[in-house]
Structures are given as C-alpha cells and as structure tokens.
C-alpha cells in the first residue's frame, strides 16, 4: 500500500474528521426559501461550498460531513481542488465561459488541444469524441449516431436520402423516421429524457407519465454472492442472460440498432457482470450487426480502480461508443470507427455542440488523475476499504448484505433488509458525520472522490460501526 | 434615437471596420486537424476568440468579421465582454466551475441569489424556474412537466400512482407510460434530441433516421408581405390556422398535453404571426385543458426589441411554460403555476439539474441588459437598420425579398430567390467582411449581439450594398 496522500498535498487543511453540530435550522430555512422559485423537495441540505474542502462537504449550519456521495458520484478531485481552481482561473477557461462558441461552426483555435487532453485518457481503442452536456444527453447523442450508422449501412454510406424519406420524416413517419430500437437492460439507468428514459429501467419514478419508445429490455445477470462460492451458478446466469439478448435482437419487431449497457449497473443497485458476459454481448452485437454502446457515465474516470470500467473486460473489438459525464464534469461519447461519424454534415449537430468550459475542466481532471496516479491509488484504497467492510459485514450481517465491488476500487455497495432500513441508515449516517447515498431500493453505494484515502476509509468504517452498534 | 454607445463603453478598442485578409489557409489546416478527432464538416472557420472583440469575430488567419450571426444567435453582449469577464473571474463562478453541485440534492447557499437574478428579467407573470442545459433540454424538460401535469390533473394532484402504472411503466407500456402528445407547428424548430426532434419540423436533415413520437403538427400562419397591405388576407390566415389547431386538439388520437410554439419561427425562416393568433392559441389551449409552452430559445433576451418576444402579445393568461437558452448562456423554463411543479419529488430531476456556472452568467447578462437599457437600444437600432434595409430592398428586389422583422429589434430576415442564391450570398458576405447566417432554405437571418449599434448597422448595410452591386 502506498503511503502517498494526494489529499494532503491538495488540501493541507482538509478537516481531520467530520463536525456534527446536529442543527439543520439554517439549511431548512433556506430550503423553504428555495421552494418559492425552484423544486426543493429533493434537497438533503443546503451546502456551503466555500467551506467545503477535499472529501468534506459543509452545510450552512456548520455541519461538515465526510462525503462519500460526492454530488451523485460526480466530484472527481475533492471540493475546491486547487489544481482545478487554477484551471478555472485560466484565460482559456474565462474565454470559454464568456465567448461560448457554436463549436460545430466556429470552434476556437484551442479546440484541438482541449479535445487532445480528453483523448489522452480515453478508453483504449477510442480515438474520437463528440461532446454533449449531460449523461442523458451523451446517451441520446450516441443513440442518434447509432441510428444514423444503422440506416447508412442499409442504404450505403454515401447514398443520398430518397425523396420519400425526405417527405415522410417531416411527418414523423417511416421511412424517413424509421422504427428502430436501442436494447437496454432491466435495472439499468441511462437518463431521464424521452429516449434515454425509454432505456432506463431502474425505478418507476424516473419515467412515470412520460411517453416512451417501445424499446425492449433484456435481463442483466443477477449473481449470487460471494462470487467465488457461486462460480458455476453465475456462469449459467451469464449464459441465460446472453441468450435472452440474442433472442431479442433476432426476433424483435423493431430492429435493434444498438445494445446499451453499463459496465456496472450503478443507479440500479451496483449490479456486476463478468468479463465473459460482456464479451458475449460484444460477440452477439457483431453477429447481428448492431452496435455496442457502453454507458460509463457513472463508472468512468477511475472510481472502479481502472480509468474506464469496461476496460477491465478487455473487449475485442472495443465498444463502438462509450458515453461519459459525471466525474469528467463534461459529457459526450468516445468512438473509433470513422463510419460512426454521420455520413453527411449537420446530422449530429446543435447550437453549442458541448461546452468547451466543461471540456477544459475534463482535460485538467484527466491530467491530475494521471499525474498523481489516482486510478491506482483508488484501486488500493478500495481494496483497503473493502476488506474493512467485509469484517463489518460479519459483525452486522443484516445491515451489510451482498457486499459488492471487490477489486473494483471504491465503487462499493451493499444491501440492507429493505427500503425502509436503507433509508433510515442513509439518514442516520449524517448523525455520525457522513454524507452517503443509495442505489436501487435497498442498497447503499459508495461514490467518494478519487482522493479518498485510507484515513478517510477509517473514518467511514468507524462511523458505520458506531451507527450500527446503536441499531 | 439615442446616441449612447454601450459598445464603445465596453470595447474602447472595438475594430472600426472589418479586416479581410482573404486567406483561409490556417483555418482550413486547423479544420482538417480537428477532423481527426471531431466531426468538422459544419466548420465555417476556426475562430481566434482572444482577438475577437465586441461585435467582431476574428479567425486564425487574421480576418476580422462583423458578426451578425453571433454563435447562432447566442452571444449576448459581444466577444470578451469585460463585465462578463469580471463575472467569470468571480469566486462564485470559480466555485460553480470546480464544485459543480447536484443542485436538486445539495444546492449551494447562493442558489437563491443566482435564481433571483435570473427571475429579475423573467417574462411577466413568470415567477419560478427549472434549469436545464440547452434549448433542446429545456424544451424536453418542459414536455416532462406538461405530461406530469396532464396526468396529475386526470388522476388528482395528490393521488398516488396505481400499481398498474408502476408495473407497466417499467415495460414502457400504458398506463404508466401513456400515449400523450405535444402539438407543434410546421416549420418550427425546438431541438434535435428525440422528443424535441419529434416537435421540430423545419428541415429533414435535423431528424432523418431518428425514431420519433407520432405527434401532430399544425400550420403556422404564412403571411403575405408587406403586412400593412395584406391585413385582411393575413387575418383570414390566422383564423384558418387556429381552426387547424382547434381541430387537432379536439380530434387527435393521442391527447395533446401541450401546444409548443416559437413567438417567431426562427430556424424555420423568421416566420411571424400576430398577437391575435397567439391569443387565439392561448384561448384554444384553455378551452381544451392543454398547456401552452412558448419556446423563447432563440427569440428571448432582447433581440426582438422586447425582453421576451411573446410579451409583445400580452397573452392573458400568460403562457404556462416559457423555455430559454442561447443568449442567456444557460437554459431551462420559467413557469408560474405551482401545479407545474410535479406532484411528487424526484420526477423532474437529474444529477446536475442545470449548471450554476451558466446560471450565474445568465444573471450577469440580465443585469447588464437592464443597466444599459439594451432592449430599448436594440429596438432603436433595429428600426434604424430595418429602414436602411427597406431602401436596399428597393434597389435589389430579387436579393432582398419579403423583408421581415419591422419593429422587432434586430431580429430581421429576408429571402432570396432560392437556396443556391442564398448560400452564395452568405458565403460571399465574408469577402466584404461580414459573418452572417441563414434560416429556412432561402432566407438570411440577422442575429447580432445586443450591443449592435447604428455604426455597425451602417457597416453591414454598406457591405450588403457593395456585394449586391457586383451581382
């Protein structure tokens, strides 16, 4: 285990431990005020970002929590990271903020450098990028690319559209607007807009009352834990689920242009699947002429102990599109096949085509991650934390069930008995100084920053122990 | 006419005129480089934003163009505006960049102030906001709000979902995922994601090969010009088009939850309609229990000589939702009815719920617009420019047809004979030092900044005259 503390390097004054003042009066008052102009019902607390440091988030009442949720898995290098503050103060950033370009028409002279920094940490085999604004946006842009590709393949990459296509599309009718599907997985989460929402399948609240595309869902493997005890059962589960995918693509009424999957189903409960399952999926997409889109919105940028979680599967050939957002503070998709670039201009296009300000930040995040070897450190810290949680699971078996994320960095989760027990646990953790989040209905997910270290893991484990000892 | 030059105040060194070096070698070379990592086919030129000032955009070859396109109508206060640079350098902005919050869960203590600044310039009658990331995103978020509202109204605002709804939505089936429609207009543009794309109806290239929702389109009035000559004909056109809307909502197979319209159809050709038409539309939506969503993505924030273009119609009651983006450098929708807030938490939600960095900028833009009375100035400059263009239209009637935008600030457009003539004109304007954009197939649209003044109008008019004299 390395003794290097990048957290101390960045944050010499990072708090040594949480502060719990146990009052939420100011936060509650401000939350009520916010309700007058904005939907405030999801607010846990009103934060004081000026006083937040590294792995610690402060609220307006003076509570300072160890944050293992990190803005729903999206803060990469800690609050008020000095390297990113330098980036935010740079002339390049200021221009990107003030002179936001329509990047598809009038990119700035620095766009190659900005994209180049992002590509330095791209998944292996991916050498191009298209930029978007959020995880949902990134996924929908990837869907567009997949549909364009699928139809161009049928029509001929350089073949012009027919008059019938040009006319019918303006009426939202085939053949110009064809019925094509994205196949996704039960328990998957890919966003909450209409097409991304049609692929999301983790909780009803994400999509109730929204019209949807009638796109199919396959089953994601449900493994038995601990994994090393149930090797055979889990292998059969892989085979069962792959067969479902194969059958759907072969028989679905609407052609499946692409299969969309998370390397680890994150919002849906930290559900893992094997490298064999993913390679099987890759093989099936090749067999049927569908694309493979890997959604790395939550898993990407190091938290699983590898830069991009799907790289662990060493897929051959690599996925056709890989979407990103969250910890990259920017969004879009990586790809490598030139034919994923739409066959004509102005097909994948919009006013801003991303946000260079956020892309500059992504490049800086990538640089810091590489410079401080944070992916390796996160793998080490994750192993340390996992082994401590394993012991805690022995002590509190009904509160720490199906511990998941072994050898997956700090991307760790476990289940409780039910939704009520889980929600109480999440809420109670604030009383011992930790801000922590859930996934699925009954699970807890750890999503700390990439500078979460052994000392923070110790505080987290002690806090869980302290709380569970009172249950 | 005011003689105040806010442009000179902001930009003492703004170029006095364009510089045309007539070479594009560097720009072409950089464009080719960009093609290795990004789709480069929409690139007009590679810009040098460091050297761009006020109303002038520089390219990497040293050409300096008067910019009346302004990043597809999205630069509000000129390139490198010093007031916005101050905002970009502020601690508040730096924190918003570096510590991007999940605003729905952990808003910063300054969120009320940030939203408050935006609401200071909100459309009359609108006192709440929900934040998004782009015009397409803003519209789709508004669709979600409309669908939630529509179903909650049927179900009862506080009634829980049925088990059948909870089960069916996970299969993308009714009743949990109902068939509901947004009614939009032919020639309208509302974005290029899947639901927004289903409402967009200006050019096939925006949506070919994309699956779509089978949502209906009504006809937007097609007026005869000049308007004062064809009052009766245009009134009949209003009535004809309103009847179509009324019939569609009454008879459409899929219930119409909301009607979506631009105050001026912008991408689709700068098509105008009367206040009577818009009030008629408001009345029809009330009659049928549908919402009215006004898409101010391109028309909003002053360019039409009023802060929000639909305010000119003085609609009673005001629209239910008003979407914004572009010149506000931020995105989202305004609303006023508390029942537009979804009846349960986590329905309108996503990781970031907008971007406070861009929202801070929107507030600063609003402040500057008010401080310098830029809406009134834009109205004045627009009248000045329009009258000059009217004279030019007499001189070159086949190149300046159907001049549109009288008393609509600088939001001015005209048509040419056909697409080829228009494209040649747009391209040739660079040879006389002007960066200018098109709309529809055959039209030119002026979309300068809000600090475009009489002196800039003179340069623009002289450049057009110079070019057309060679045709």
Consecutive H or E run containing B471? none
What is the predicted pLDDT for the residue at A329? 97
**A100 and B CB contact within 8 Å:** yes
Indicate the pLDDT class of residue A4, thresholds 50, 70 and 90.
Answer: confident
What is the predicted pLDDT for the residue at B3? 55
Residue of A nearest to B182 (CA): A211
What is the predicted pLDDT for the residue at B22? 80
Q: Cβ contacts (< 8 Å) between A350 and chain B: which residues?
A: 134-136, 191-192
- Give the whole-number percent of chain A exceeding pLDDT 70: 99
What is the predicted pLDDT for the residue at A271? 96
Collect the ranges in chain B with pLDDT lower than 50. 1
A351 → closest Cβ in B30, B72, B348: B72
CA–CA separation, B225 and B412 (whole Å): 14
Strands B217-218 and B181-185: what pairing? parallel
CA–CA separation, B377 and B456 (whole Å): 13
CA–CA separation, B405 and A240 (whole Å): 63
> Among A356, A92, A111, which residue's Cα sits nearest to residue B47?
A111
CB atoms B91 and A50 under 8 Å = yes
Cβ neighbours, 10 Å, residue B464: 23
Burial A221-238 (b: 16+ CB within 10 A, else e): bebebeeeeeeeebeebb
**B137 and A CB contact within 8 Å:** yes
Mutate to test the interface with B, among A72, A76, A99 (most CBs of B within 10 A): A99
Residue of A nearest to B360 (CA): A97
**A329 and B CB contact within 8 Å:** yes
Complete edge-to-edge strand list for the sheet that includes strand B217-218: B128-132, B331-335, B321-324, B291-295, B256-261, B181-185, B217-218
Query: Cis link prior to B78 (omega < 30° from 0)?
Result: no
Phi, psi (rounded to 5 degrees) for B189 = -130, 125
Convert the pLDDT of each residue in B23-75 to its tens digit: 899 999 999 999 999 999 999 999 999 999 999 999 999 999 999 999 999 99
Query: Cis link prior to B167 (omega < 30° from 0)?
Result: no
> Among A466, A470, A469, A450, which residue's Cα sits nearest to residue A458?
A466
Q: Of the listed A11, A189, A324, A425, which one is catalytic?
A: A189
Q: Given CA atoms A124, A308, A292, A273 in this order, what sign does their dihedral have?
A: positive
Do A326 and A73 meet the contact criterion of CB atoms below 8 Å apart?
A: yes
**A250 and B CB contact within 8 Å:** no
C-alpha neighbours within 13 Å on the C-beta side of residue B12: 0
Mutate to test the interface with B, among A63, A112, A172, A357 (most CBs of B within 10 A): A172
What is the predicted pLDDT for the residue at B226? 82
Do A274 and A312 meet the contact criterion of CB atoms below 8 Å apart?
A: no
Complete edge-to-edge strand list for the sheet that includes strand A64-67: A47-53, A56-59, A64-67, A434-435
Angle in degrees, CA A384, A385, A389, rounded to 5: 125
B49 → closest Cβ in A95, A112, A341: A95
* A300-to-A121, A408, A411, A456, B80 alpha-carbon distances in Å: 11, 12, 11, 22, 34
List the alpha helices (DSSP H) in B106-207.
Answer: 111-120, 135-155, 163-169, 194-199
Catalytic (active site) residue A167 = no
Indicate the pLDDT class of residue A111, thresholds 50, 70 and 90.
Answer: very high
Angle between helices B82-89 and B91-98 (to 10 degrees): 60
What is the predicted pLDDT for the residue at B320? 98
Report the pLDDT averaged over residues A196-220: 97
CB atoms A38 and B111 under 8 Å = yes
**B215 and A CB contact within 8 Å:** yes
B366: three-class secondary structure by DSSP: helix
Helix and strand element counts for chain A (H, E): 15, 17
> Among A267, A265, A299, which residue's Cα sits nearest to residue A123?
A299
B228 Cα to chain A: minimum distance (Å): 32
Convert the pLDDT of each residue in A339-386 to its tens digit: 999 999 999 999 999 999 999 999 999 999 999 999 999 999 999 999
CB atoms B111 and A46 under 8 Å = yes
* Residues of B forming the active site: 189, 295, 326, 351
List the alpha helices (DSSP H) in B289-401.
Answer: 356-371, 374-395
A207 → closest Cβ in B84, B134, B169: B169
**B100 and A CB contact within 8 Å:** yes
CB atoms B210 and A165 under 8 Å = no
A37 → closest Cβ in B119, B214, B350: B119
**Interface size between A and B, measured as CB pairs under 8 A:** 362
**B24 and A CB contact within 8 Å:** no
CA–CA separation, B169 and A192 (whole Å): 13
**Domain A6-72+373-469 is in which class?**
alpha beta
B17 — alpha (psi -120 to 50), left (phi > 0) or beta?
A: beta
CA–CA separation, A199 and A19 (whole Å): 41
Mutate to test the interface with B, among A40, A297, A351 (most CBs of B within 10 A): A351
- Architecture of domain A89-371 in this structure: 3-Layer(aba) Sandwich (3.40)
What is the domain partition of chain A in residue ranges? 6-72+373-469, 89-371
Do A307 and A375 meet the contact criterion of CB atoms below 8 Å apart?
A: yes
* B361-to-A271, A358, B94 alpha-carbon distances in Å: 40, 14, 12
CB atoms A37 and B213 under 8 Å = no
Q: Of the listed A59, A67, A295, A442, which one is catalytic?
A: A295
This prediction's pTM: 0.97
Mutate to test the interface with A, among B98, B144, B171, B216 (most CBs of A within 10 A): B98
Q: Cβ contacts (< 8 Å) between A134 and chain B: which residues?
A: 133, 137, 350-352
CB atoms B42 and A105 under 8 Å = yes
CB atoms B107 and A215 under 8 Å = no
Q: Cβ contacts (< 8 Å) between B129 and chain A: which residues?
A: 37-38
Do B44 and B12 meet the contact criterion of CB atoms below 8 Å apart?
A: no
DSSP string, A370-404: HHTTHHHHHHHHHHHHHHHHHHHHHHSTTTSEEEE
Consecutive H or E run containing A139? helix A135-155
* B437-to-B68, B187, B445, B467 alpha-carbon distances in Å: 8, 17, 6, 16
Q: Cβ contacts (< 8 Å) between A214 and chain B: which residues?
A: 172-173
User: What is chain A's mean pLDDT, rounded?
Assistant: 97
Report the pLDDT averaged over residues A24-51: 95
Q: Which of residues 31-70 of B touch A (CB under 8 A)?
A: 33-34, 36-39, 41-50, 52, 57, 60
Indicate the pLDDT class of residue A1, thresholds 50, 70 and 90.
Answer: very low
C-alpha neighbours within 13 Å on the C-beta side of residue B416: 19
């Amino acid at each position: 285990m390395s003794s290097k503390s990048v957290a101390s390097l960045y944050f010499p004054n990072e708090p040594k431990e949480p502060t719990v003042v146990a009052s939420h009066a100011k936060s509650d008052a401000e939350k009520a005020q916010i309700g007058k102009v904005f939907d405030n019902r999801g607010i846990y607390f009103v934060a004081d970002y000026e006083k937040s440091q590294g792995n610690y988030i402060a609220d307006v009442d003076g509570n300072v929590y160890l944050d293992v949720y990190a803005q729903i898995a999206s803060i990469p290098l800690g609050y008020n990271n000095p390297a990113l503050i330098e980036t935010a103060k740079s002339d390049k950033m200021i221009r990107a903020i003030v002179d936001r370009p329509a990047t598809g028409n009038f990119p700035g002279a620095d766009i190659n450098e900005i994209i180049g920094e992002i590509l330095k940490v791209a998944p292996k085999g991916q050498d191009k990028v298209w930029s978007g604004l959020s995880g949902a946006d990134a996924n929908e842009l990837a869907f567009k690319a997949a549909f364009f590709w699928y139809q161009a393949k049928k029509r001929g990459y350089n073949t012009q559209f027919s008059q019938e296509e040009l006319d019918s599309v303006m009426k939202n009718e085939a053949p110009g607007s064809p019925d094509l599907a994205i196949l996704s997985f039960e328990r998957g989460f890919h966003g909450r807009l209409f097409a991304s929402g049609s692929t999301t399948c983790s909780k009803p609240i994400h999509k109730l009352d929204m019209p949807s595309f009638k796109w199919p869902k396959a089953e994601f493997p449900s493994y038995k834990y601990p994994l090393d005890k149930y090797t055979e059962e889990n292998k059969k589960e892989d085979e069962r689920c792959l067969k479902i995918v194969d059958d759907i693509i072969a028989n679905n009424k609407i052609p499946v242009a692409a299969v969309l999957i998370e390397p680890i189903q994150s919002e849906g409960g930290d559900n893992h699947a094997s490298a064999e399952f993913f390679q099987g999926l890759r093989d099936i997409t090749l067999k049927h002429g569908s694309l493979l889109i890997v959604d790395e919105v939550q898993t990407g940028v190091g938290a699983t102990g590898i830069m991009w979680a799907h790289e662990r599967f060493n897929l051959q050939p690599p996925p056709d599109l890989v979407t990103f957002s969250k910890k990259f503070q920017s969004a879009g998709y990586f790809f490598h096949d030139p034919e994923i670039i739409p066959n004509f201009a102005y097909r994948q296009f919009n006013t801003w085509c991303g946000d260079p300000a956020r892309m500059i930040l992504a490049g800086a995040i990538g640089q810091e991650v590489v410079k401080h070897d944070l992916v390796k450190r996160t793998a080490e810290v994750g192993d340390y934390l996992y082994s401590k949680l394993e012991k805690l699971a022995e002590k509190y078996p009904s509160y720490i069930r199906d511990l998941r994320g072994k050898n997956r960095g700090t991307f760790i989760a476990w289940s409780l008995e039910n939704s009520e027990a889980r929600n109480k646990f999440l809420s109670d953790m604030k009383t011992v100084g930790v801000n922590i989040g859930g996934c699925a209905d009954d699970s807890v997910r750890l999503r700390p920053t990439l500078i979460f270290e052994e000392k923070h893991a110790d505080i987290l484990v002690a806090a869980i122990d302290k709380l569970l000892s009172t249950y």
